[in-house]
């Protein structure tokens, strides 16, 4: 069976711990590559340009859109975020799974363009735990936290459009679960049509 590279979209409410989860997944398994998005928001303490995000101006972001340099983009709480095209296409053609940690509007754009994509939504163990994690992170003002929680209520409506949900309670268990889900998704018949047809043809030639 020839393993094709897939796009794995990972979404989840702000503060749910997607970033930590994805960094851990990449560290443990070398078959995944994490896409670095472009954003117009400012870096948080500890974030580096080119590692967490490419931090760009509004003008640079608009230029990227005009040049067709993004495979999707969306607005999120006062800022723009988008996925650079080249990295994703290069990794897919090398047979490597590319993880896009993006919000729900972007996820929908990806599913339209890449019906093969696996859409995964990371859930908190409870709503109050989510709020505590956002406050505990200490990187956003009370006003921004409120906006992000409001956005979570809106995003909660779209979770059924995803293929899988995982609960981020124990980091270790959650990383393993995500890996198992991706592995299982690779085995779906519709993602292996070429292989199935090869065997069918071989059967006729027996």
Residues of the shown chain interacting with ligand 5GP in the complex, contacts defined by CB under 6 A? 14, 37, 41, 72, 74, 76, 81-83, 101-103, 105-106
Q: Minimum distance from CB of 138 to ligand 5GP (Å)?
A: 14
Positive or negative CA dihedral for 132, 138, 139, 140? positive
Task: Indicate the residue among 135 and 184 with the shorter CB distance to ligand 5GP.
Answer: 135
The token pair that represents 118 in the structure block: 């696996």
Q: Minimum distance from CB of 173 to ligand 5GP (Å)?
A: 21
Q: Minimum distance from CB of 107 to ligand 5GP (Å)?
A: 7
Task: Indicate the residue among 131 and 186 with the shorter CB distance to ligand 5GP.
Answer: 131
Minimal CB distance residue for ligand 5GP = 106
Q: Which helix (H) or strand (E) holds 3?
A: none
Q: Minimum distance from CB of 21 to ligand 5GP (Å)?
A: 11
Contact by Cβ (8 Å): 72, 89: no
Half-sphere exposure of 55 (CA within 13 A, CB side): 9
Task: Indicate the residue among 8 and 102 with the shorter CB distance to ligand 5GP.
Answer: 102
Contact by Cβ (8 Å): 20, 126: no
Task: Indicate the residue among 21 and 175 with the shorter CB distance to ligand 5GP.
Answer: 21
Q: Which residues contact 27 (CB under 8 A, 6 or more apart)?
A: none
């Amino acid at each position: 069976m020839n393993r094709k590279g897939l796009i794995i979209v990972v979404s989840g409410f702000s503060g749910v711990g997607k970033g930590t989860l994805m960094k851990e997944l990449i560290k443990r398994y070398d078959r995944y590559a994490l896409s670095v998005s472009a954003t117009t928001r400012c870096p948080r303490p500890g974030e580096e340009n080119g590692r967490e995000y490419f931090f760009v101006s509004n003008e640079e972001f608009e230029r990227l859109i005009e040049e067709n340099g993004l495979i999707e983009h969306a607005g999120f709480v006062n800022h723009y975020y988008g996925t650079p095209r080249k990295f994703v296409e290069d990794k897919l053609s090398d047979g490597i799974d590319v993880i896009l940690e993006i919000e729900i509007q972007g996820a929908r754009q990806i599913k339209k363009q890449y019906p093969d994509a696996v859409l995964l939504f990371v859930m908190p163990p409870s709503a109050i735990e989510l709020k505590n994690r956002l406050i505990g992170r200490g990187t956003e003002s009370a006003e921004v936290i409120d906006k992000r929680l409001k956005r979570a209520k809106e995003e909660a409506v779209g979770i059924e459009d995803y293929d899988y949900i995982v609960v981020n309670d124990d980091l270790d268990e959650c990383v393993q679960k995500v890996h198992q889900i991706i592995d299982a998704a690779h085995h779906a018949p519709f993602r292996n049509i070429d292989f199935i047809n090869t065997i069918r043809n071989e059967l006729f030639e027996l």
